[in-house]
Amino acid sequence: MSQPPDLPLPVARSVASLRQTVADWRKAGLRIGFVPTMGALHAGHLSLVERAKERADRVIVSIFVNPTQFGPTEDFSKYPRQEASDAARLAAFGVDVLYSPSVEEMYPAGAATTVSVGVVTERLEGVFRPTHFSGVATVVAKLLNQVQPHVAVFGEKDYQQLLVVKRLVADLDIDTEIVPGPTVREADGLAMSSRNAYLSEEDRAVAASLPATLNFVASQLRSGVDAGPILEAGRARLLKAGFREVQYLDLADAATLAPLERADRPARLLVAALVGATRLIDNIAV
């Protein structure tokens, strides 16, 4: 693997060149950390890189906008792609290798295997994005087989995804420790997301009511009262603030995502809502 003249760190674009580097590091007894992303990097991604650096001698970040996790009407083609500026940020953060395969490298002609994780995928995102988690599980299984990291860091921002990845790794005996990273937020509380770039100024002001509502609802739920009426009030508050649709605002068991009537055990409050054409998700511990 070489360092292209136009990019500030070594880039692997093929599975073969990635494997060569990883094999050399493993032979030298080095611990390998991995952060998978879809690029358009922000401080949330970089916080995961920090966590990986704390736990490993070498860190690989992947940038791959995975077509199979987008639904037919979703934003795959317009998803932001900015490899050169992402690479500069990763180099400045001390990342050792950027892994940036093409769609053809990841899914060669004839590929016919998908990974399907049950139970934890059934509710919440699984209802509104029915093909999403099989795309995620398949690409994460492939990435973990390609990189073979000792540790991989995933954000709590995508809380259901984090649980799906933990399930996948346990069920397929993948020898990688999955470490969660807390959600990094803007000054007004909005969770950082590559999709925030889609928000108009007006939408951006509406979006700030998402974390505010989560905090309000969670503080009520922490007193142990019935969730139903409080969740309903939360949904109404989001619509009043200018959200076009609230797909879900639900209380769930933090480990299984089974629905909860009240927060009588470790719980998570999760939301998906549409502002303009943009779909935002967020969650917090209760």
Comparison of 212 and 233: residue with beta carbon closer to ligand AMP: 212
Task: Tell me if residue 26 falls in helix, strand or coil.
Answer: helix
Radius of gyration of the chain (CA): 19
Q: Are strands 278-285 and 267-275 parallel, antiparallel or unpaired?
A: antiparallel
169: left (phi over 0), alpha (psi -120 to 50) or beta: alpha
Other Cβ atoms closer than 10 A to 5: 5
Q: How far is the CB of 185 from ligand AMP (least distance, A)?
A: 7
Task: Respond yes or no: is residue 45 known to be catalytic.
Answer: yes
Comparison of 60 and 231: residue with beta carbon closer to ligand AMP: 60
Q: How far is the CB of 107 from ligand AMP (least distance, A)?
A: 17
Comparison of 136 and 249: residue with beta carbon closer to ligand AMP: 136
Bridge partner list, 274: 245, 279
CA–CA separation, 197 and 193 (whole Å): 8
Q: How far is the CB of 193 from ligand AMP (least distance, A)?
A: 5
DSSP states of 2-21: ---TTSSS-EE-SHHHHHHH
Task: Tell me if residue 150 falls in helix, strand or coil.
Answer: coil
The active-site residue out of 42, 45, 132, 150 is 45
Comparison of 101 and 181: residue with beta carbon closer to ligand AMP: 181
For binding to ligand AMP (CB under 6 A), which residues are involved? 37-38, 44-45, 47-48, 154-155, 157-158, 181, 183-184, 191-194
So which residues are the catalytic ones?
45
